[in-house]
Amino acid sequence: MSLPASITITQTGLAVPVTLVDGAVPAPTAGLPPYPLSPVPGATYYLTLVNGALAWVQGGASPLTVSAPSTGSVGVALAITGTVTPPDDNVVVGLSLSAIEPPATLVAATNIGGALSAELTPTSAGTFYVWAFDTTNGQNTAISGAVTITAASAALSITSPGTASYAAGSGAVELSGMVTPAQTLSLQVALSTADTAPPSAGWVAATLNAGAWRAAVPVPAAAGQYYVWVETTDGLVVAVSSFTIGVV
């Protein structure tokens, strides 16, 4: 049997024509199984799980599909949609940075008569893929097209510490605040007697958990009134406190 001029391959539940080159089926995305070597003319093949391994199978309709917006922002929920057959199967979805490695975290999709919907919120920037798994039959898998997530415009806030005065050169000031919307950022914190420009030294890395940042900054050796500065390590987002901390 001669190969057709093209076959239909889908990784996302949406039919995508694959044109043959010199009568040969082109290679799929790196890491995915090879396309069928002798495809049936006019047939459609879908990526699914067969005995626990990804494989291309022929079918008239994909038993599971998933789609997502092509772009999004950190901290902003993505509206996920899809379909499943049989229509009462349970489906879970998740975000992965890979179209080959499945996500570690999955959430249940809402299923109304086979129409799927869910919301997934990216916490960092990058190129993601939405994976869907049919947990009822334990086999069918669908993967969306690439979703480009960009960093959202972040706002940094600073919480006044409970203690307003510290002994010079003794211990550390426990500082905290929020990142809005919550997202993964690299932050640093410092103290300065000026509130007009960030300090050039004395920065301490902050930890970040679910939008809340924390840092322990050494108490300066010199007495004075100090403002709290917090910024992203690239210096693009900066905040300074409206209050001062006394060092005596």
Other CB atoms within a 10 A radius of the CB of residue 68 amount to 23
Note whether 118 and 192 are same-domain residues.
Answer: no
Note whether 104 and 7 are same-domain residues.
Answer: yes
Provide the pLDDT confidence category of residue 13 given band limits of 50, 70 and 90: very low
pLDDT confidence of residue 190 = 97
Note whether 131 and 159 are same-domain residues.
Answer: no
pLDDT confidence of residue 5 = 44
Q: Nearest CA to 94 among 142, 137, 30, 47?
A: 142
Other CB atoms within a 10 A radius of the CB of residue 111 amount to 19
In tens, the pLDDT along 80-134 reads 999 998 888 999 999 999 888 889 899 999 999 999 999 999 988 889 999 999 8
pTM over 0.85: no
Domain that holds residue 26: 1-151
Note whether 10 and 120 are same-domain residues.
Answer: yes
Note whether 181 and 137 are same-domain residues.
Answer: no
Report d(CA 247, CA 160) in Å as an integer.
15
The CATH number for 129's domain is 2.60.40.10
C-alpha distances in Å from residue 212, one per residue of 121, 181, 185, 235, 248: 17, 10, 11, 19, 29
In tens, the pLDDT along 41-71 reads 666 666 665 555 666 766 655 678 899 999 9
Query: Mean per-residue pLDDT for 19-27?
Result: 54
Alpha carbon dihedral 205, 209, 213, 217, in 10-degree steps, equals -40
Note whether 132 and 210 are same-domain residues.
Answer: no
Name the 3-class secondary structure at 195. coil
